[in-house]
Chains A and B, each alone.
Chain A
């Protein structure tokens, strides 16, 4: 029992230790300020923030609809939930290909738009945001739906009998009570978005300063400038740690309980 457990632990922690040991700490500032990393860092933070915003704006209403789906026929409900969850289990590259087939220059929707206006979404910064939103939306929707379902029904009843219609009830009672769940979902979405690689590189490519986010820059730099790749990895690890710490109370204690 102890040996496989120890191997598992080393497998989980070892790579991170290696990363920290090999990181070019002395040159870290210079590397991060360099021509490759700084634009990628700005692009990653910007697109991840934008896609997190999209996730909240689109995902909260979807979560509301799903949390009220108990009256739907069971098969419809199951299919709806499965479809929403799909991007979680889909290989990101497949997601990228699928996005191209829908929104690309010859895609189902993208084709007509391109013929009519000459505009094509892929290989633009906006396409990075779309790819990130696609992969991270389920985190937000499932988290918020759980939070909405967790709000005690008697608060909604109290609001109703105090004269609140459905909208007031949602805005002033249910949503505020589910706010920690929305925040946790947003943080998870951000984490997923900033680490996004497969769907982004497939759908948006890797144009420096336009679609080349940190993970893509790290992958490309590994061949040409390994130290830069390591520096990016350190940055992404710090982001992951910040996410972990910010979710500590909700997740780790929740698991412990």
Chain B
């Protein structure tokens, strides 16, 4: 059990897409909390609701029922840039910007000068051995490299909460392991909470906690219960 206010709290949060007979329940009423320093592996098959839960926790989507709050961070408007970083499973780099510009973008959005943001971004890219790609466009690098750039972009802002949606899905085993290592190191270094959704058990096993999802519900808690009903 972590101390202090939770970074994010889901209180019966559920998400249904569509209406009427074609409505799809992506996430059942969910109760959970994530505290600073926690490192959680969110596992489950495709369509189990992992991405939906991450989007709700990141404040990118609203629950159709229930509530999501960020007691230790503030309101939804205060989540980004800086406090909560999201790493998506698909290509998420802006096509017209170079790798360096993509990495520095959240920092500039956060108010840093362009020059300072570039320096910080360079450092983040170097951490993942990506600095040689700095001037490339997203379409000029591989999918795996793009995913690692997305990780570097997320870490550059030293966020409080890192939400990674299948960050190793497009990577080979070695690269995937390296990315997880970087994420763990970064979260430990900054004391950030880390939640990685994955269907790769080797990734999940690297994380101290594991939540399993099935049919839109968190099934079991492999560690001690982190949420109350």
Q: Tell me whether A and B are bound partners.
A: no
Binding site for A on B (CB under 8 A): none
